[in-house]
Amino acid sequence: MNKNTLISAILLSTTMVLNTGCIQRFFVDEKPPSKTIKYESQAVVPNRQLNNTDIECSEDLTTKKSDCDRGTISREELKHNPKTGEQHLLQSIRGKIIHIGERSNGFTFPEYKNKVVILEIFGKDCPHCIREIPVLQSIRKRYRGKLEIIAIQAQDRMSRNEARNYINKHRIRYPIIEGDDATNLQYFIQETYGWRGILPYTLVIKDGITEFSYSGETDYSELKHDIDSLFKQ
């Protein structure tokens, strides 16, 4: 092999090695690429429990925001101008008459004297509310005779057939009041407790005083723990 041929071979080999990038690893200070987190608009957000006012409604692809966020109540929606210490005369879907009196720190329930009352605002299409129904049923059964539940349905009014089917489907044994009939009561809760429309919203009242509040879905163990504490006092 003559000198020119040898030099050409060496140059060709060197060029091939450089093109592979193998030599570059020894001379280039490679840095790992920075992590980029992408939030896909169509990604499914997993459901999560909602236990306080700092947590907003969790949604997924099948859940509209309005299903778990009723929104705030404007004064234009009220039946009449709010009154201090107002007494609300309400009727459940099944015809039960219920009186609810406002207090600065709670409520009175003449029909449920000496009982702990769970006052819940829910929506018929809210998935978190539907999951909470059996929790409330179990709590009511556990404290039978010592506790009652009153629920306010805050979404679109149900027809008679829809209401009957809904109650039967979920085996609801406690009274439900349509939200359209209790806008002033909901407004009072909004202004007094800072509720901003997240569903469900639950208050626990004993002896006329609101002891606990839950913004969003709560579970059996949490509710049981808090109510147990009321009966130990």
Higher pLDDT, 10 or 22: 10
Euclidean distance between CA atoms 36 and 28, whole angstroms: 23
Domain containing 148 — which CATH number? 3.40.30.10
- Predicted TM-score (pTM) of this structure: 0.73
Q: For residue 192, tell me if it sits in a domain.
A: yes
Q: Is the pLDDT of residue 39 over 50?
A: no
Q: Is the pLDDT of residue 6 over 90?
A: no
Taking only the tens place, the pLDDT of each residue in 170-223 is 999 999 999 999 999 999 999 999 999 999 999 999 999 999 999 999 999 999
Q: For residue 18, tell me if it sits in a domain.
A: no
Q: For residue 34, tell me if it sits in a domain.
A: no
Residues spanned by the domain of 113: 65-231
* Other beta carbons less than 10 A from residue 26's beta carbon: 6
Nearest-10 crossing angle of helices 127-142, 220-231: 40
Q: For residue 28, tell me if it sits in a domain.
A: no
Q: Is the pLDDT of residue 35 over 50?
A: no
pLDDT score of 62: 44
Euclidean distance between CA atoms 233 and 227, whole angstroms: 10
Can you tell me the mean pLDDT for 63-76? 80
Look at the chain and report how many structural domains it folds into: 1
- Per-residue buried b or exposed e for 207-232, using 16+ beta carbons within 10 Å of the residue's own CB: eeebbbbbbbbbeeeebeeebeebee
Q: For residue 183, tell me if it sits in a domain.
A: yes
Residues listed for the chain: 233
Q: For residue 83, tell me if it sits in a domain.
A: yes
Rg (Cα) of the chain, in Å, rounded?
A: 31
Taking only the tens place, the pLDDT of each residue in 133-156 is 999 999 999 999 999 999 999 999
Cβ–Cβ < 8 Å for 201, 185: no
Q: For residue 140, tell me if it sits in a domain.
A: yes
- For residue 189, what are its two tokens? 């809760």
Q: For residue 33, tell me if it sits in a domain.
A: no
Confidence band (pLDDT; 50, 70, 90) for 57?
A: low
